Amino acid sequence: MSAPWFVDAVFYEVPVYAFFDADGDGIGDFAGLTDKLDYLEWLGVTCIWLLPFYESPQRDGGYDVSDFKSVLPRYGTLDDVQQFLNEAHRRGLRVIADMIVNHTSDQHPWFQEARQPGSPMRSRYVWSDTPDRYRDARVIFTDTQDSNWSWDPVADAYYWHRFFDHQPDLNFDNPGVRDEIEDVIRFWLTLGFDGLRLDAVPYLYERDGTNGENLPETHAYLKRLRSMVDTEFNDRLLLAEANQWPEDVVEYFGDSDEFHMAYHFPLMPRLFLALAQGDAGIVVDVLDRTPEIPDGCRWGIFLRNHDELTLEMVSEVERECMWQHYAPEHSMRKNVGIRRRLAPLLGGDRRRIELLDVLLLSLPGSPFLYYGDEIGMGDEHLLDDRDGVRTPMQWEDSPNAGFSTAEPGDLYLPIVSSQEYSPAVVNVASQGDDADSLLHWTRRMLSIRADLPVMGAGGFLTIPAADPAVLCFERIAADTVVLVVANFLDAPVRCALDVDDPPTMVLAATPGASIDGSVITLDPYGWAWFSGSRP
Catalytically annotated residues: 199, 241
Given the complex with ligand NOJ, which of 125 and 529 has the nearer CB atom? 125
- The binding track of 234-253 with respect to ligand NOJ, each residue x by CB under 6 A or -, is -------x------------
User: Under the criterion CB under 6 A, does residue 526 sit at the interface with ligand NOJ?
Assistant: no
Closest approach of ligand NOJ to the CB of residue 202, in Å: 11
Binding residue for ligand NOJ, selected from 60, 258, 474, 523, defined by CB under 6 A: 60
Residue nearest to ligand NOJ (CB): 63
Please state the separation of Cα 36 from the chain's center in Å. 21
**By C-beta, is 60 or 206 nearer to ligand NOJ?**
60
Residues linked to residue 195 through DSSP beta bridges, in sequence order: 96, 237
Q: Which of residues 468-507 bind ligand NOJ (CB under 6 A)?
A: none
Told to check if 467 binds ligand NOJ by CB under 6 A, we report no
Span near ligand NOJ by CB under 6 A; candidates 56-64, 142-150, 312-320, 425-433: 56-64
152 binds ligand NOJ (CB under 6 A): no
Which of 20, 30, 163, 529 lies at the binding interface for ligand NOJ (CB under 6 A)?
Answer: 163
Distance in Å, CB of 134 to ligand NOJ, minimum = 18
Asked if residue 159 lies in contact with residue 150, where contact means CB atoms within 8 angstroms, the answer is yes
Residues 6+ apart with CB under 8 A from 479: 533, 534, 535
Determine the Cα–Cα distance for residues 147 and 138; give it in Å rounded to an integer: 9
Q: Does 101 contact ligand NOJ by CB under 6 A?
A: no
| C-alpha–C-alpha distance, residues 39 and 21, integer Å | 15
Stretch that binds ligand NOJ, among 58-66, 182-190, 286-294, 360-368 (CB under 6 A): 58-66
DSSP symbol at 471: E
For residue 403, which of 80, 23, 14 has the smallest C-alpha distance? 23
Q: What are phi and psi of 446, to 5 degrees?
A: -65, -35
Centre a 10 Å sphere on the Cβ of residue 85 and count the other Cβ atoms it contains: 21
Nearer to ligand NOJ, 105 or 431 (CB): 105
SS (H, E, C) 345-401: HCCCCHHHHHHHHHHHHHCCCEEEEECCHHHCCCCCCCCCCCHHHCCCCCCCCCHHH
Q: Does 213 bind ligand NOJ (CB under 6 A)?
A: no
Q: Which is nearer to ligand NOJ, 134 or 203 (CB)?
A: 203
Can residue 13 be called a binding residue for ligand NOJ (CB under 6 A)?
Answer: no
DSSP state of 170: B
AA letter at 105: S
**Residue from 351, 331, 422, 99 nearest 229 by CA:** 99
Residue 321: phi and psi, rounded to 5, are -65, -45
The least distance separating ligand NOJ from the CB of residue 206, rounded to whole angstroms, comes to 16
Q: How far is the CB of 50 from ligand NOJ (least distance, A)?
A: 13
| Rounded Cα–Cα distance for residues 340 and 354 (Å) | 17
> Considering only 13-21, 57-65, 231-239, 357-365, which stretch makes contact with ligand NOJ by CB under 6 A?
57-65
Rounded least distance, CB 241 to ligand NOJ, Å: 6
Q: How far is the CB of 63 from ligand NOJ (least distance, A)?
A: 3
Residue 126 half-sphere exposure toward CB, CA atoms < 13 A: 27
Does 63 sit near ligand NOJ (CB under 6 A)? yes
User: Helix, strand, coil: what percent of the chain each, to 5?
Assistant: 35, 20, 50
Member of 61, 344, 392, 423 binding ligand NOJ (CB under 6 A): 61
The distance of closest approach from Cβ of residue 414 to ligand NOJ in the complex, given in angstroms and rounded to an integer, is 20
How many other CB atoms are found less than 10 A from the CB of residue 109?
11
Q: Which CB sits closer to ligand NOJ, 20 or 63?
A: 63
Q: Which of 191, 179, 244, 249 is nearest to 50 (CA)?
A: 191
In the list 18, 157, 185, 200, the residue contacting ligand NOJ (rule: CB under 6 A) is: 200
Positions 296 through 315 that interact with ligand NOJ (CB under 6 A): 306-307
Q: How many residues of this chain bind ligand NOJ (CB under 6 A)? A: 9
Which is closer to ligand NOJ, CB of 225 or CB of 355?
225
Instruction: Report the alpha-carbon distance of residue 31 to residue 81 in Å, rounded.
Output: 8
Select the span of 55-63, 208-216, 339-347, 526-534 touching ligand NOJ (CB under 6 A): 55-63
**Three-class SS of 221-272:** HHHHHHHHHHHHCCCCEEEECCCCCHHHHHHHHCCCCCCCEEECCCHHHHHH
Closest to 261 in 3D by CA, of 203, 349, 198: 198
Q: To the nearest whole angstrom, how small is the minimum distance from the Cβ of residue 239 to ligand NOJ?
A: 12
Residue 199 or 357 having the CB closest to ligand NOJ:
199
371 binds ligand NOJ (CB under 6 A): no
Helix, strand, or coil (residue 487): strand
| The one among 80, 165, 169, 199 contacting ligand NOJ by CB under 6 A | 199
Contact positions with ligand NOJ (CB under 6 A) in 28-47: none
Q: Which is nearer to ligand NOJ, 7 or 184 (CB)?
A: 184
Return residues touching ligand NOJ (CB under 6 A): 60-61, 63, 163, 199-200, 241, 306-307
